[in-house]
Amino acid sequence: ITQDLSARDAIVDIIKKHDLAGEGPEAVVSAPARRNIKELFPEKSGPAAAPAQADDGDADPDRDGYSDGGYYNGGADSAMMDMMDADRLMSSMPFTSPKTPGAWDKVTPEMEAWAKVLEDMARMLARFPLLRLVPFYYVEKRGESIEETSRRWRTLIDLFEIHYLPNDMGELDREVAQGRTAHEVWHLLFSRPDLILDEPELIDNMSFQALWWAVEDPRVNNLGLARHPGAKPWINAAYAKDYAIHNLDEERRFWDERIPMHMQFLYALVYQWWAGRPDPRVTDPRVAEALKRAGPAIRRAIKTQDAARAFAVIRDQIWPIYKELIEEQVQDKSRQNQRQNQKQDGRPNDQKQDGQSQGGESPDSDGEPSEEDERHQRAQEQEARDQAERESKDYREKHAPSMSQDPEKMSKEQQEKAKKEMEEARDKMEQSQRESQGGSQKEKQQGRQGGKKADQSQGQQSSPDKNSGGTQGRADQPDKADDPKQAAKQKERLGKADEEHRATPADRVLYQDYLRRVQKFIPFMRQQFQHALRQQLRQRVIHNRDDGDLDPDSFPRIPMGARDVFSEEMSPNKVLYRVSLLIDFSGSMKGEKKERSIEGAVMMMEALEKVPGVAFEIVIYDSVPLVLKPYNKKLTPDLKASIVGIINGNGGSTDTFTALKEAIGRVRMGRGDKMIIVVNDGDPDKSFDREAFRQMVIAARDVEIHGIGLGSEAQMVLDLFPPGRGWWLKDVADFVKNLRRILTSKLMSVRR
């Protein structure tokens, strides 16, 4: 089900605890339910059905060899290979298509038993025990009714419920139900439906929201498949049920006659992600051209792990193309309505009423349409737009999350309340996820004992055991004893970033905004650093030498037997200082804390960029550290903007131990005085081992390690770092000044 080690270990512990090893999924439900569900599970358990064939039409059947201008990377099978992990929140995205059937009302005991299995699966995938899976029902307090509300799979955010459709719970649809359940969980983790509340111009626009959720569907699937690759057969089965083509000619005819162009765009977009090729049901060249033009932007959006950045790509790059298609649809529908009205009035298409000639001109109009004709034309266009909005709203209703009520119906006060509810829901889920990452108590205890033993025998710090999910279990050895593969990986990261993307216009604007905030600090800092380093670049003390040019400042130490008294000229291209900035990227680092962290990164890039003798890196970390600016890579305007764009996203859990351990290894791979600055909010995972972390900091005597804790709950930083190296900033606004103070103190000091 999952490659997340802590989730996997928790599942294994539960199975062992209840003696369920080797049992099928039916073993996790109650005895009565087990009897009811027994017939649903043949001897061969687990997902096995191959995905249905996408079509037998004109598209090239060789998916791997098919090229459509770089649009999507070959479908769900290959999309999961290059997608990013993330940890976010929610929405609901059912698998509706033009052929989705209605829902059954009857829920049998067998369906209830299978739903219980799926509920347990959903809780494990989301790491959220309060999540419930229940049959769809109308929430009357929200004004839902059979007339106004579409029945569908959905997530109710404030109630922590996933609603399912009973007709997907049949014996033949087991993998379909698994796929849709996993899909809803991924929306719970990765989507942010409240983003629309900050867009007053779009909050009433159903066409935009339909487009938004059509792109969001593949995006969360990519993130989910990267985290839970075992769900791939389930997703294929779910999409095959709604999107597989069985009779191409018949379905093309249906699309041409019944599906408007803008809706074809949405369905074809999702189909192309799933099948890895263009939808052969699209025959209108205008739809095909719009999909082709929007392709690069769609690909960027669905590869983006941050929901807000994906939203911006949709709004700024895809929406303008989609709007053009809607306008063409409006004009087509308007002309169609005119022809129907003329036919009903008994008029030929080329002849107007009230004595007009066959040329279509009124005797008193001089070839211009009359005012009545213009009013009629505007009315027809408005009717066509209203119809497009109704169609888009229906799509939105089937795909968008269920907040307290529809966004367009909320007052300003209700919008603020909804934002707060969403924030609280995210916090509650993230807290649950952090608490679930500790692994089993037995493994923790074993790791703790192993770490203490190593400390006693070697005097070195413990480090995370990748097989335990905790921060104990293996003593930190000197660099030469490290795994050669890991050492090679860290060496490669000196010059190559872990995550890169081409800076967008929005990233560049964002960078300039942050630069303006810290601009006043930069010239003075740069001047100070350059002056100090200019002095130190001339002469530096050479250690372990028996002859050479004497250092004048060392003369008084010669009678006392000092040997490190020689110096040499140094060129400006030699590195005197290596500085690593580690920024907490976890879900708890949000709001002003994230804002100040970005300001610090921008100030550091601008102040140190052209200072000779200083090499630095910028790293973000949640569950996995990511090098954004390596030591040996020169900054460019695009790289600066892209770094800010990435930090502006959101991460998941926090593994400060691994981030610092890897940073120590990299900073030692070069000459110069070494400094690491760790920025976080003092909110580590439950499995965090303070003692192991402290020992690692103490043991790294050749590296000056500082910790900066942001916010009222970051007092732990004073306990984790030596006196004078831990900085607790209750007022987050002081971060930039404090970072400047630390850097200035280090670089202005003269090391002899």
Count of positions (residues) in the chain: 752
pLDDT band at 128 (very low <50, low <70, confident <90, very high): confident
Q: For the sheet with 154-156, list strands across it.
A: 132-135, 161-164, 154-156
Handedness of CA 35, 41, 47, 53 (dihedral sign): negative
Residue 192 has pLDDT above 80, yes or no: yes
Report the pLDDT value the prediction gives residue 8, as an integer from 0 to 100: 62
Secondary structure of 11-52 in the HEC alphabet?
HHHHHHHCCCCCCCHHHHCCHHHHHHHHHHCCCCCCCCCCCC
Nearest to 662 by CA among 506, 463, 467: 463
| DSSP-based three-state secondary structure for 676 | strand
Other Cβ atoms closer than 10 A to 125: 24
Q: Considering only residues 137 and 360, tell me which one the structure prediction assigns the higher pLDDT.
A: 137
Report the pLDDT value the prediction gives residue 623, as an integer from 0 to 100: 76
Nearest to 158 by CA among 422, 477, 519: 422
d(CA 237, CA 747): 59
d(CA 13, CA 10): 5
- Give me the CATH code for the 487-538+572-748 domain, please: 3.40.50.410
Average pLDDT over residues 505-531: 82
d(CA 156, CA 403): 7
% of the chain surpassing 70 pLDDT: 65
Long-range contacts of 320-326 (CB under 8 A, 24+ apart): 321/290, 321/293, 321/294, 321/297, 322/207, 322/208, 322/211, 322/262, 322/265, 322/290, 322/294, 323/207, 324/290, 325/261, 325/262, 325/265, 325/286, 325/287, 325/290, 326/207, 326/262, 326/385, 326/388
pLDDT band at 317 (very low <50, low <70, confident <90, very high): very high
Handedness of CA 130, 133, 138, 143 (dihedral sign): positive
Q: Please report, for residues 97, 270, 708, the alpha-carbon distance to residue 289 in angstroms, rounded to integers and kept in the order given.
A: 21, 16, 52
pLDDT band at 663 (very low <50, low <70, confident <90, very high): very high
Average pLDDT over residues 149-177: 82
Handedness of CA 473, 475, 481, 482 (dihedral sign): positive
Q: Considering only residues 442 and 647, tell me which one the structure prediction assigns the higher pLDDT.
A: 647
Report the pLDDT value the prediction gives residue 70, as an integer from 0 to 100: 36
Question: For residue 581, what is the enclosing H or E element?
Answer: strand 577-584
Chain centroid to CA 25: 30
Q: Write down the residue that tokens 């103490």 correspond to.
A: 698
| DSSP-based three-state secondary structure for 693 | helix
d(CA 233, CA 516): 49
Q: Please report, for residues 667, 677, 708, 717, the alpha-carbon distance to residue 725 in angstroms, rounded to integers and kept in the order given.
A: 18, 9, 8, 9
Residue 664 has pLDDT above 90, yes or no: yes
Chain centroid to CA 349: 54
Residue 30 has pLDDT above 60, yes or no: no
Q: What is the pLDDT of residues 329-351, one digit of tens each?
A: 888 877 776 676 666 666 555 44
Task: Quote the mean pLDDT of the chain.
Answer: 73
Residue 526 has pLDDT above 80, yes or no: no
Report the pLDDT value the prediction gives residue 69, as an integer from 0 to 100: 35
Report the pLDDT value the prediction gives residue 534, as an integer from 0 to 100: 61
d(CA 713, CA 373): 68
Average pLDDT over residues 434-460: 47
Residue 326 has pLDDT above 50, yes or no: yes
Helical segments of 127-205, H only: 174-190
Residue 309 has pLDDT above 70, yes or no: yes
* Helical axes 232-243 vs 261-275, angle rounded to 10°: 150
CA angle 450, 455, 459 (to 5 degrees): 155
Cβ(391)–Cβ(263) under 8 Å? yes
Chain centroid to CA 504: 17
Strands 577-584 and 673-680: parallel
Half-sphere exposure of 358 (CA within 13 A, CB side): 0
Residue 447 has pLDDT above 90, yes or no: no
% of the chain surpassing 90 pLDDT: 17
The overall longest dimension of the chain from CA atoms, in Å, is 121
d(CA 564, CA 228): 57
Average pLDDT over residues 659-669: 91
Token representation of residue 557: 């130490």
Report the pLDDT value the prediction gives residue 219, as an integer from 0 to 100: 94
d(CA 485, CA 463): 17
pLDDT band at 688 (very low <50, low <70, confident <90, very high): confident
Q: Write down the residue that tokens 């290894």 correspond to.
A: 665
Average pLDDT over residues 597-622: 86
Cβ(608)–Cβ(741) under 8 Å? no
Specify which of 72-81, 101-110, 695-704 reaches the highest per-range mean pLDDT: 695-704
Q: Considering only residues 99 and 188, tell me which one the structure prediction assigns the higher pLDDT.
A: 188
Report the pLDDT value the prediction gives residue 618, as an integer from 0 to 100: 92
Average pLDDT over residues 209-227: 91
Cβ(190)–Cβ(224) under 8 Å? yes
Residue 564 has pLDDT above 50, yes or no: yes
Dihedrals phi, psi of 643, to nearest 5 degrees: -60, -45
- All residues at 6 or more sequence positions from 223 whose CB lies less than 8 Å from its CB, including other chains: 83, 84, 85, 86, 186, 189, 190, 305
d(CA 654, CA 665): 19
Q: Which residue ranges make up each domain of the chain?
A: 10-328+393-432, 487-538+572-748
Residue 6 has pLDDT above 80, yes or no: no
Q: Considering only residues 456 and 126, tell me which one the structure prediction assigns the higher pLDDT.
A: 126
Least confident of 85-89, 184-188, 243-247: 85-89
pLDDT band at 554 (very low <50, low <70, confident <90, very high): low
Report the pLDDT value the prediction gives residue 72, as an integer from 0 to 100: 42
